[in-house]
């Protein structure tokens, strides 16, 4: 099972615990960024929020622009030495694969009742309570990406743009953050 699948199962259990009164809903506002979360096994994408406390500078994950080799320096401090279709040792053009690393611990898949505000250079683009219309698998898409839901009463493409390109945001989750 993927990490996203495990998070979904955990989230369902937490939502049930809130409904039973066993735990209190969240009372904290988180700062971070919007994201369209999709990976193998999710069979489409979710509207998501990445908690800024779990966004760190990337200093260890590289990609060779000549041979397409991936190298995680945190696992192996020495430059890889592979043969075949890869560059010879010392000939790689390794560059950071991204400026940041986003940890799964900070991933929040948006759900009904969450309070989200999305910003662009200090201007509020959208602010409100999440209320999603759910779709069966492989029935709806935006910009060619399968989606599981859409925000009710908001234009689908405009909404998607808020997530396809990460924007600064705040989230007050309906349930306690992990």
Domain that holds residue 63: 59-97
Shared domain check, 126 and 73? no
* Average pLDDT of the segment spanning 162-174: 96
Residue 165 confidence (pLDDT) above 90: yes
Shared domain check, 132 and 75? no
Residue 116 confidence (pLDDT) above 90: yes
Shared domain check, 80 and 65? yes
69 closest CA partner among 92, 91, 90: 92
Residue 2 confidence (pLDDT) above 70: no
pLDDT at 13: 63
Among 76, 97, 118, where does a domain finish? 97
For 42-100, write each residue's pLDDT tens digit. 899 999 999 999 999 999 999 999 998 889 999 988 887 766 778 887 888 999 999 99
Shared domain check, 24 and 90? no
Residue 5 confidence (pLDDT) above 60: no
Cα–Cα distance measured from residue 161 to residue 142, given in angstroms and rounded to the nearest whole number: 10
Shared domain check, 111 and 47? yes
Alpha helices in the chain (DSSP H): 3-19, 156-164
Cα–Cα distance measured from residue 81 to residue 90, given in angstroms and rounded to the nearest whole number: 9
- Per-residue tokens: 97: 């694969």
In a domain, 66, yes or no: yes
Shared domain check, 85 and 34? no
């Amino acid at each position: 099972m993927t990490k996203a699948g495990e998070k979904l199962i955990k989230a369902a259990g937490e939502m049930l615990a809130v409904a039973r009164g066993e735990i209190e809903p969240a009372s904290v506002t988180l700062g971070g960024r919007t994201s369209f979360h999709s990976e193998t096994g999710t069979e489409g994408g979710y509207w998501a929020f990445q908690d800024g406390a779990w966004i760190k500078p990337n200093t260890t994950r590289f990609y060779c622009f000549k041979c397409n080799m991936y190298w995680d320096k945190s696992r192996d401090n020495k430059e890889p030495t592979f043969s075949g279709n890869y560059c010879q040792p010392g000939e790689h053009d390794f560059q950071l694969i991204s400026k940041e690393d986003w940890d799964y611990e900070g991933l929040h898949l948006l759900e009904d009742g969450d309070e989200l505000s999305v910003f662009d250079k200090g201007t509020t683009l959208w602010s409100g309570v999440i209320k999603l219309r759910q779709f069966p698998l492989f029935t709806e898409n935006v910009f060619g990406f399968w989606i599981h839901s859409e925000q009710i009463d908001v234009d689908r493409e405009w909404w998607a743009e808020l997530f396809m390109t990460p924007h600064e945001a705040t989230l007050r989750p309906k349930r306690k953050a992990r």
